[in-house]
Amino acid sequence: MAFDVGKKRIGVAVTDPSRLIANGLTTLLFHEALPYIQQYLSREVVDLFVVGYARQSDGSDSESMAHIRPFVNSLKNKFPHMTVEWMDERFTSQLAFQTMIDGGLGRKARQDKAMVDKISATIILQSWMEAQSTGR
């Protein structure tokens, strides 16, 4: 299960048991996240959490980490048995937007920030899976 954490919303993505394809699951408001995750874990098997690590283009931490770190701390406190891994999320929003254009979505649909967050979480998870398969 992967998360793209923003100021207001959290995009969520999951993968199949074989870890072949990441799929966007939902976008949640911050206060909805932990209860949703707990409910999801009660009915689905999740091996670990992957969280997008926000960096500047020079590799330094982005200001967004001020929102991401507290979320990760909450995840670790609420679900201490779960492993949390980081995945560089630089350019995922731009990639998500381009994916929407390539998918033929109109301008109005592309303005849906919740969809961008969900697609970004999917890109984070797919990138993490690819990095695991190549040993990076």
CA-wise closest residue to 79 among 39, 116, 23: 39
Q: Span 79-97, mean pLDDT?
A: 79
Rounded to two decimals, the pTM is 0.85
Query: What digits encode the pLDDT tens for the residues 46-76?
Result: 999 999 998 887 888 888 899 999 999 999 9
Domain boundaries, the chain: 2-134
Contact at 8 Å (CB) between 129 and 22? yes
Mean pLDDT along residues 3-17: 93
Question: Rounded mean pLDDT of 11-18?
Answer: 93
The whole-number pLDDT of residue 102 equals: 62
- E-state strands within 1-136: 2-5, 9-15, 22-29, 48-53, 83-88
Average pLDDT of the residues in 24-49: 96
Confidence grade of residue 23 (pLDDT, cut at 50, 70, 90): very high
* Phi, psi (degrees; rounded to nearest 5) at 21: -135, 130
Reported as a single tens digit per residue, the pLDDT across 97-135 is 566 556 666 666 555 577 778 888 998 999 899 888 876
Q: Token pair of 63, please?
A: 């200001």
The Cα 45–Cα 101 span in angstroms is: 33
CATH node for 2-134: 3.30.420.140
